[in-house]
Structure 1
Amino acid sequence: MALKLMKLAKKFSLAVVLLNQVTTKYTEGSFQLALALGDSWSHSCTNRVILYWNGDERYAYIDKSPSLPSASASYTVTSRGLRNSSSSSKRVKMM
């Protein structure tokens, strides 16, 4: 499926957004975070952005990119779409 989406994106100059939920799996006596669609799905993308909360603020973390360094930025969701967070523009390192 990922290969077909990549071919369509290249052919029609499209951006494709793929989602992979995080779930928990019981391994070696404890619950651990795991990718719901497995590791291979996350390796098929060119850029990987992780969305997460830090307190009351939403952040987007660039985890993988061929042209950008890893970084976090806060954002808000408005009726006009995604916008820079007005409360802070500082970078936060993801744990």
Structure 2
Amino acid sequence: MNMLLMSFLEKLLDSNYHFTITSARRTVEQNISCKGAKNSQHLVGEAIDIKPYGSTSYNALLTFIKDNYQGQHSYSYDQLILYPTFIHISFSNRMRCQTIDKR
């Protein structure tokens, strides 16, 4: 798994956010099964999908990400995709800081 991604998860946990990881590193077969992109960052351990859980809201997770990982920093996310029920976030050397809202 990507070290920036692992650091992100650690910071979420340390901050007492509650979430479920719905997808992390995938095999090619798993990626095909879930209709993932052919070049999905899940295939190389650079992406996860998280869903808020319990007392943590979707907006709380999104605010945490934007406050801590959006911008031109060495730890900025590469891609953030907002789906109706979960959030996809990836970290890589590209550091595009791209946000796609599909809600």
State the TM-score, normalized to the length of structure 2: 0.22
**Which structure has the greater CA radius of gyration?**
1
Structure with the larger strand share: 1
Query: More relative contact order in 1 or in 2 (CA 8 Å, sep 6+)?
Result: 2
